[in-house]
Amino acid sequence: MQTIETPAVNLDDLRRAIQDEYALVAEQPEHGFHFLVGRPLARVLGYQDAWLDGIPEPTIASFAGTVDSLVAAKWLAHRVMWSAST
C-alpha cells in the first residue's frame, strides 16, 4: 500500500491567500477565476433572480457566495439523485 504524505501547510499563509483571492473577487470581478462568481454562482447556489432584483450589478458581479449548508445539502442530494436516474 502506498502512503501519500500530506504537505505541511502554514494555516496563516493559507488564510491570507484565501482572503486575498476573495478581496480580488470583490475588487475585480471581471478578472477571471477558477471558481464561479456573480450571477452564475448565485444561480448554482439556488438564489432566485427575483432575490437579486434591485441589487446593483457590480455588487452581484463581485458575489463570491455563501449558501446555507442545509440548502447546499438538499441541492447536492437532488443532483446525485438526478445523476443516478439518467
Nearest-angstrom CA–CA distance, 20 and 18: 5
Bin 32: left if φ > 0, else alpha if -120 < ψ < 50, else beta.
Answer: left
Contact residues for 39 (Cβ-Cβ < 8 A; gap 6+): 52, 60, 61, 63
Is 74 inside any structural domain?
Answer: yes
Q: List the chain pLDDT tens, one digit each, 86 residues.
A: 788 887 788 889 998 998 898 888 888 888 888 788 889 988 888 888 899 999 999 989 988 876 666 666 766 666 555 555 44
Angle at alpha carbon of residue 39, lines to 36 and 40, rounded to 5°: 45
Q: What residues make up the domain containing 45?
A: 11-85
Does any domain span residue 3?
A: no
pLDDT at 32: 82
**Domain count within the chain:** 1
Q: What does pTM read for this prediction? A: 0.55
